[in-house]
Amino acid sequence: MVFSSAVFLFLFLPAVLVLYYLPVFFWNDAWETARKNTVLCLASLLFYAWGEPVYVILMLLSIAFNYYIGLDIGRHADRPSRQKIILAAAVVFDLLILGFFKYGNFLIDNLNGLLAWDIEPLQVSLPVGISFYTFQILSYVVDVYRGTVKPQKNPVAFAMYVTMFPQLIAGPIVQYADIEKRLGKRQVTPESFFDGVTVFLRGLGKKVLFANTIGRFYTEIAAGDVVHASAATMWLGIACYTMQIYFDFGGYSDMAIGLGRMFGFEFLRNFNFPYLADSVKDFWRRWHISLSSWFRDYVYIPLGGSRRGTLRTVINLAVVWSLTGLWHGAAWNFIAWGAFYGLLLIGEKFVWAGILPKIPGWARHIGTMMIVMIGWVFFASDSMGDAVVFLRSMFCLNGNAPWDAAFVYYLSSCAFPLALMSLSAFGICDRMPKPRRQALRLAGNGIFYAVVLVLSVICLVSSTYNPFLYFRF
Amino acid sequence: MKALRLKEILCVLLTVAFIVLVTRHEPPSSVSAQDMAAALCRVTDVSALDECKNADFRREIQLNPNDYDGVVFYSSPNIMEVRELLVVRLTDESQGEALTECLRSRVEEKRKLFHAYAPEQEALLDGYVLENTRGFVLFAVSENPEAVRQTFKETL
């Protein structure tokens, strides 16, 4: 089930909210949080089972295993070596499951290609959200081992942490330490609830009104004759994708954060105007923050971070960015995408660190945007070969023209939506003056979000199924 | 302590058993989309329909035909003609859900369009065939939905 569907908006979400809050009016006792956790956990399992009826079993088994692992680590607090063995077993088990479903066929394809073997591909599909929930589970067992959080004794609360539907399918990756307290007790005020509603609607608008609209232009350009299309058309196509992926994933994250707030959880921000970045490092501080933070806390720092000399830092960065690429998908274009950023970050840290501050701010912004757009070519393409062809066309290396009539046609069609989206993506909307009186501000917000909801619903009922881009990860 | 260890081992064993089970389900069929469509054309009349190009599929279904292993799509530009035949051989079985969801909403849209004023068309739409199995998605609006369904299963 996707957030931007009529079933979710008009059936699932209202039903869950009623079941979640209605008992509060009848019983105000010590079991309130337990009741809420149970409702949210069951609703999340139904949400997942809607699209993945079989893999809900895998997720439940994974939850059960890691729940017992957490307790086991906690019980061996006086025996660190034993704790280490239990942690290693859990990490190996969780990564094996992720590896089997996500990377099994990629490995088989490469072995068959390299060694001329003939291994049959695995007949399995990728369980939705497995990359996200595996990382959440790993953050829990590692934190229990480190002693930064206590083992969760309540299986329902732990299951709810893993399955919570607002962020189950496509993040943000919520670290256990960030919501541990709210699993036990949380309060929702009318203000925080309606704040959650507005954040959710903002995300819905980003996805339905912006991402879906601009995505059509990229789809059309990419599905055309990429080899002979003009360079300007290809740049315009990838500019459209640049906006699409930001509003698609950013919209999903806003919806998840808004839903979380409606149920009393505070998820950390996942995007902070990434296209305002003036360096690659700055970009990754602003884009998919929950994933970068996870890799920093559970891979980069444990490997030694930047504290063990230049060579070790370079290796650590290379490892982290190859894994970041691989996390996004089992294909060489994703690994190339990760390596591309790894090399640029190593360069920024050790090669051109002294030059960057001397470049004017506007030039740094433009340069970073171009790098990001080139990076999205690897990300958006179906294979490494497709990415190379696309890139060659962007730089007139396929014998294609710099521009043509098709470019003018596409530009005239998408200039307005692109300009409108840029106002939001570059934070210009947020800097616009707002009414000083609170009543006026509230009324303005109310009207604005009501319009967003109505327009989104109109778009939803007149369009076909349109899942989020990050679902495939 | 031992009970906890036993529960962990049980979870691992159940997970392994689950993985063995899901990997042993029927593998995708080796039939091509064209062969499948040819078999289906023998039991449903497509003479009034056009075999659509990729661009038509993209416009009508709003998905990229290049994402799939094979697509055969028979439809008609005539607004009153609701009969259709679509055979898609998936590249990956996980694509099936998105495609079937899309086709379901397509039928709903058409049903609303014909509701109350074109009962014949509405009746045909009510009996639509939508199958997602063994790496194939079949969508058909036909006078012989059962024959289409049966032939599809036999050809797989």
SS (H, E, C) chain A: CCCCCHHHHHHHHHHHHHHHHHHHHHCCCCCHHHHHHHHHHHHHHHHHHHHCCCHHHHHHHHHHHHHHHHHHHHHCCCCHHHHHHHHHHHHHHHHHHHHHHHHHHHHHHHHHHHHCCCCCCCCCCCCCCHHHHHHHHHHHHHHHHHCCCCCCCCHHHHHHHHHCHHHHCCCCCCCHHHHHHHHHCCCCCHHHHHHHHHHHHHHHHHHHHHHHHHHHHHHHHHHCCCCCCCHHHHHHHHHHHHHHHHHHHHHHHHHHHHHHHHCCCCCCCCCCCHHHCCCHHHHHHHCCHHHHHHHHHHHHCCCCCCCCCHHHHHHHHHHHHHHHHHHHCCCHHHHHHHHHHHHHHHHHHHHCCCCHHHCCHHHHHHHHHHHHHHHHHHHHCCCHHHHHHHHHHHCCCCCCCCCCHHHHHHHHHHHHHHHHHHHHHCCCHHHCCCCCCHHHHHHHHHHHHHHHHHHHHHHHHCCCCCCCHHHHC
A69 touches B at CB < 8 Å: yes
Confidence band of A468 (pLDDT split at 50, 70, 90): low
Contact A231, A396 (CB under 8 A): yes
Tracing tokens 């009539």 back to the chain, one arrives at: A405
In angstroms, the Cα distances linking A158 to A67, A70, A302 are 7, 10, 25
- Give the pLDDT confidence of A413-442 residue by residue, as tens digits: 889 989 988 888 887 777 777 767 777 777
Contact B103, B75 (CB under 8 A): no
Q: How close does chain A come to B123, measured CA to CA in Å?
A: 22
Selection from B89, B70, B98, B83 nearest residue B144 by Cα: B83
CA–CA gap between residue A309 and residue A301 (Å, rounded): 13
- In the predicted model, is pLDDT for residue A26 greater than 90? no
CA–CA gap between residue A356 and residue A337 (Å, rounded): 22
Q: How close does chain A come to B110, measured CA to CA in Å?
A: 11
Token digits for A411?
């530009």
- Residue A356: the pLDDT is 87
A122 touches B at CB < 8 Å: yes
- A vs B, Cβ pairs < 8 A, gives 67
Compute the mean pLDDT over every residue in chain A, rounded to the nearest whole number.
88
- Give the pLDDT confidence of A341-372 residue by residue, as tens digits: 999 999 999 988 888 888 999 999 999 999 99
Q: Which of A62, A125, A464 sits opposite B94 (nearest CB)?
A: A125
Q: How close does chain B come to A123, measured CA to CA in Å?
A: 5
Instruction: Name the residue in chain B with its Cα closest to that of A64.
Output: B11
Instruction: Name the residue in chain B with its Cα closest to that of A460.
Output: B105
Q: Which of A54, A68, A466 sits opposite B22 (nearest CB)?
A: A54
Reduced to 3 states, what is the DSSP secondary structure of residue B109? helix
A123 to chain B: which residues are within 8 Å by CB?
A: 23, 25, 27-28, 93
Segment A252-269 mean pLDDT? 91
CA–CA gap between residue B140 and residue B134 (Å, rounded): 17
- In the predicted model, is pLDDT for residue A213 greater than 80? yes
Determine which helix (DSSP H) or strand (DSSP E) holds B65, and give its type and residue range: none
- In the predicted model, is pLDDT for residue B31 greater than 90? no
* Cβ pair A68:B62 closer than 8 A: no
Selection from A48, A43, A47, A41 nearest residue A67 by Cα: A41
- Residue B96: the pLDDT is 85
CA–CA gap between residue A247 and residue A254 (Å, rounded): 10
* Cβ pair A68:B25 closer than 8 A: no
In angstroms, the Cα distances linking A171 to A44, A203, A221, B98 are 14, 14, 29, 20
* Cβ pair B11:A124 closer than 8 A: no
Best A125, A131, A220 member to test B by mutation, with max B CBs in 10 Å, is A125
- In the predicted model, is pLDDT for residue A227 greater than 90? no
Segment B38-61 mean pLDDT? 81
- In the predicted model, is pLDDT for residue B53 greater than 60? yes
Segment A232-249 mean pLDDT? 94
Q: Which of A68, A123, A465 sits opposite B101 (nearest CB)?
A: A465
* Cβ pair B7:A61 closer than 8 A: no
Residues of A assigned a catalytic role = 328
For residue A374, count other CB atoms closer than 10 A to its CB: 17
- Residue A322: the pLDDT is 92
- In the predicted model, is pLDDT for residue A319 greater than 60? yes
- Residue A61: the pLDDT is 96
Segment B5-15 mean pLDDT? 92
Instruction: Name the residue in chain B with its Cα closest to that of A122.
Output: B23
Q: Which of A93, A125, A464 sits opposite B102 (nearest CB)?
A: A464
- Residue B120: the pLDDT is 83
ipTM: 0.80
Q: Which of A64, A75, A123 sits opposite B1 (nearest CB)?
A: A75
Confidence band of A188 (pLDDT split at 50, 70, 90): confident
Segment A236-244 mean pLDDT? 94
Higher pLDDT, A1 or A384: A384
Compute the mean pLDDT over every residue in chain B, rounded to the nearest whole number.
84
- In the predicted model, is pLDDT for residue A130 greater than 60? yes
Most confident segment among A127-131, B74-78, B136-140: B136-140
Confidence band of A470 (pLDDT split at 50, 70, 90): low
* Cβ pair B8:A62 closer than 8 A: no
B14 touches A at CB < 8 Å: yes
